[in-house]
Copies of this chain bind each other. A is one copy, B any other.
Amino acid sequence: MTRPVRFLALLFPNVTQLDLTGPAQFFSSPPGASVDLVWKDRSPVVTDAGFAIVPTVDFATAPQADVLMIPGGQGVFELLEDDETLDFVRRQAAGARFITSVCTGAFLLGAAGLLVGRRATTHWNSHAMLELLGAVPVEERVVRDGDLITGGGVTAGLDFALTVLAEVFDPQTARAVQLGYEYDPAPPFDAGHPSRPEADAGQVSSTLQTRRELREPVVRRAAARLAGRVEPVG
């Protein structure tokens, strides 16, 4: 892609901040890349880690993204019926070269009607629910389907970001960023996914249940709105 390249990430209340800050760090690094964080206004936004991050642009003044990125977290489920946000996401997506999400950010893309028939992934704790919005859920850490690139839960955002950089620029740029941020992971435990040997089965089942109880009603309402939405005649 011709530089400069504009990355635009949604920053909303109760975002899982690492979904956003991990990829934002990687995206900020290549020459010619710029990263903006966008919300309805430019007041500081409180994240799920308790501290606030300041948007760099608002919905009204945001530049057209080359790469649109939606992070996840419980806050995303408050937005699935928020027309102001959904309209902004649709508008940006229409002009973006890549439409992307990390973690449960995929549900906002889904509620905006952008995942119908598309292969996508999300956090393991909510993966099965993605189908309700018409997506084809794929159990991989990073999934590409044409101009749509989605990452799994939270820290999958780092692997996602390298994948995006390789597509947007080239593999050499992605490898340079990986080296610069010393991304040579060596977790001291092997519990990072339900499939891993040290993952606690009880935690997995209780998390799946609580997330479904908490999130499925609003995902179903978003799906119903989507099904009833009359597309403007072009």
Contact = CB atoms under 8 A, between A and B. Distances in A.
Interface of A: 16-18, 21-22, 24-25, 28, 34-35, 37, 44, 48-56, 103, 123-124, 141-142, 152-156, 158-159, 162-163, 166, 171-172, 174-176, 178-189, 191-194, 196, 198-200, 203-204, 207
B176 A188 contact: no
- The 4 A-B pairs of least Cβ separation, nearest first, read A153-B182, A184-B192, A185-B185, A175-B191
A49 B22 contact: no
Contacts of A158: 155, 185, 187
Contacts of A53: 51-54
Nearest to A155: B183
Contacts of A52: 53-54
Nearest to A185: B185
B188 A192 contact: no
Q: Which of A35, A56, A124, A178 has the most CB of B within 10 A?
A: A178
Contacts of A174: 188-189
A193 B44 CA distance: 35
Contacts of A35: 49-51
Given A25-B18, A35-B49, A159 B185 contact: yes
Given A25-B16, A34-B50, A51-B54, A189 B178 contact: yes
A37 B25 contact: no
A171 B199 CA distance: 12
Given A142-B186, A162-B189, 12 more contacts: A17-B21, A21-B22, A28-B49, A51-B54, A51-B55, A123-B182, A155-B182, A179-B193, A179-B199, A179-B203, A180-B207, A182-B192
Nearest to A151: B182
Given A17-B25, A178-B191, A189-B178, A184 B162 contact: no
